[in-house]
Every structure is written in structure tokens, then in C-alpha cells.
Amino acid sequence: MINIAIDGPSASGKSTIAKRLAKALNYTHIDTGAMYRAVALKCILEHVDLEDEAACLEVAQKSEISLKTDGSIFLDGDDVSRLIRSDEVSQGASKVSKFASIREILVGMQRKIASKKGFVLDGRDITSVVLPDAEVKIYQTADVGVRAQRRYEELLKAGHEVSFDSLYDELVERDYRDMNRESSPLIKVEDALEIDTTHLSIDEVVSLIMEYIESRNLND
């Protein structure tokens, strides 16, 4: 077994592809972004300033985050799988993830989980920081307009009231924040396969990655 690491900007389809890959390979998917969302959700519920690193760190330290094999995420024993997908929490996750102290805690958890191999992890710094030794590294991206439309449709389907224009602006802002943060910025590492999903279907992206794994004889 191997580990597969997928990085890329928000709404580029990383989690969707990661889940499909995990199912095809009989691996376990770990949505690392969900862990930051969980911390952000708790900060929001406790009215903690998302710009206050010390306060957010205190929340992270006292939080019990559990990822299930079915994709659900539990925070302090409660299923928050749907709550963490709101736009407010998405923006909050981007803010708390810029803090090195919080990243240190969650990265440690992620590395421990993946140490046994057979995992597909997606996030912003998986190939560069969390699993730099992953056998397969993917950098997945897409046009920001397409990403905004995907996120818009996803949130509407989930019952959230959202504005496409505000989502677009927030994605642009989040891209800048993720790529320019001091701690573990979003980058494409040299040995990552870059896939632009703008004009590709989910099946096409999965096929590309599976072919890449096959070409390197890494699917044993």
C-alpha cells in the first residue's frame, strides 16, 4: 500500500476525487480540511475571535476531532459533517489554518493516522508538509469561476442560501490567503502531477490519476 497526497485551491474538487480514489483502491480517505473546519466551527460557536491565535489554539487543544471511514466528522462526540460545510465555516477554516500553532497540532494527528499507509489525504499542504514522502502527489486546480460555480451548486444543494458573486470574491480572497500565509502556504511541489479539472469530469480526473499510479507500478 501507498499514500496519495492531493493539494490544490478551494473547490477544485480535491475531496470528491480523493473519496473516489479511496473507494477504487480500497483505501481510506482523510479530509484534512475538515479538521480545520471543525476547529473553526467550535471557535464560531464559542464566539472566539478567528484572528486571535492564542484563543483559537486554546479551542483546538481542547477539541476532540474524529474522522470516520464513511467520511463523517465528529467534534467532541457530535456529528458536525453538515455544519462544517457552511460558507462561514469555510472562511473561518482558512483563517485558523494560517496559525502555525494550530497547524502543528493537526498535522501531527494527520501524520499519525497516515503512518500505516493506504490513505488518500487532501488539503493545502499535504504534499509539502504533512506527507512529503507520499508515493503519489497530485496538485489539483481549476479556473476560479468554475470553482465558484461548483461551490455555489454544492451549497445550494445542501440547503444554504448563498450568492455566487460573494462566493467568487471569497474564493479569490481565500486563494490569496492560502498561497501567501507564512505557515505552510499552498504550493505545487516539484514532483507533483498537476491536473487542471476545469474541463474534466470526475471520472476523467480519477482515470488520469489511476493511470499515473499504474505507470509508476505503485498499485500493489
Average pLDDT, integer, range 99-116? 90
SS3 66: strand
Residue linked to cell 494527528: 109
Average pLDDT, integer, range 174-191? 90
SS3 140: strand
- Please report, rounded to a whole number, the percentage of residues in the chain having pLDDT higher than 90: 71
Overall CATH class of domain 3-206: alpha beta
What are the tens digits of pLDDT across the range 43-74?
Answer: 999 999 999 999 999 999 999 998 887 778 99
- Rounded to whole angstroms, how far apart are CA atoms 74 and 65? 6
pLDDT score at 137: 97
Burial 40-57 (b: 16+ CB within 10 A, else e): bbbbbeeebebeeeeebb
Average pLDDT, integer, range 11-28? 92
Q: Which one has a higher pLDDT value, 217 or 96?
A: 96
What are the tens digits of pLDDT across the range 126-159?
Answer: 999 999 999 999 999 999 999 999 999 988 988 8
Sequence-ordered alpha helix ranges (H) in the chain: 14-25, 32-45, 53-61, 87-96, 100-114, 144-157, 164-180, 202-215
Q: What does the block give as the cell for 115?
A: 503512518
Burial 160-188 (b: 16+ CB within 10 A, else e): eebeeeebbebbeebbebbeebeebebbb
Write down the pTM of the prediction: 0.79
Q: Which region holds residue 215: left if phi is over 0, alpha if psi is between -120 and 50, else beta?
A: alpha
Measured CA to CA in angstroms, residue 146 lies from 142, 152, 159, 160 at distances of 7, 10, 20, 19
On the question of pLDDT at 186 being above 60, the answer is: yes
Q: What does the block give as the cell for 101?
A: 500553532
Phi, psi values for residue 78, rounded to 5°: -105, 140
What are the tens digits of pLDDT across the range 189-219?
Answer: 999 999 999 999 999 999 999 999 998 776 5
By the 8 A CB rule, do 4 and 134 touch?
Answer: yes
Q: What does the block give as the cell for 150?
A: 461548483
SS3 200: coil
pLDDT score at 167: 92
Q: Which one has a higher pLDDT value, 87 or 119?
A: 119
